[in-house]
């Protein structure tokens, strides 16, 4: 049984973001730790960094540019289906996403070329875009 809120709210974080994959043994670069939103995850296979695109040095392959949507949390761990309910309208309409969860909330990155369609789909699904 899903216990998500009836109407999620979200906001767009300012600026563009990049997703970078480094070798699993790489040190976390200083540029990766700057900005209001960064995510650094190390696994046995990779060091994955999400940070403001402006932070990425020219010699690092940063790939696509992303817009970051922040769900307005916090959400208790007992509340299930929050992220699923938010990305379902996107997935059902072929909009690719990159999701990151934190202790308090979820972030969904949408590639720049899909953002207008994504916001329209989320509004149609009843989600509210907060300004600021």
pLDDT for residue 65: 96
Question: Could you tell me the CA-to-CA distances from 7 to 33, 51, 95, 108 in Å, in that order?
Answer: 33, 28, 20, 17
Is 35 part of any domain? yes
Residue-number span of the structural domain to which 114 is assigned: 9-125
Q: DSSP alpha helices (H): ranges in the chain? A: 82-91, 115-124
pLDDT 10s digit of each residue in the chain, 132 long?
445 455 789 999 999 999 999 999 999 999 999 999 999 999 999 999 999 999 999 999 888 899 999 998 777 667 767 888 899 999 999 999 999 999 888 999 999 999 999 999 999 999 999 986
pLDDT at 1: 46
The encoded tokens of residue 117 equal: 């369609």
How many domains is the chain partitioned into structurally? 1
CA distance 130 to 30: 32
Domain-located, residue 2: no
| pLDDT score at 72 | 86
**Which CATH number characterizes residue 59's domain?**
3.30.2130.10
């Amino acid at each position: 049984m899903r216990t998500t809120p009836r109407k999620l709210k979200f906001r767009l974080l300012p600026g563009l973001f990049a997703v970078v994959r480094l070798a699993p043994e790489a040190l976390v670069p200083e540029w990766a730790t700057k900005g209001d939103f960064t995510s650094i995850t190390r696994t046995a296979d990779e060091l994955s960094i999400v940070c403001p695109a402006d932070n990425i040095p020219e010699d690092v392959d940063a790939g696509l540019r992303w817009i970051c949507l922040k769900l307005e949390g916090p959400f208790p761990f007992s509340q299930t289906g929050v992220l699923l309910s938010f990305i379902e309208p996107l997935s059902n309409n072929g909009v690719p996403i990159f999701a990151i969860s934190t202790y308090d909330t979820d972030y969904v990155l949408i590639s720049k070329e899909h953002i207008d369609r994504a916001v329209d789909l989320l509004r149609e699904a009843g989600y509210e875009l907060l300004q600021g």
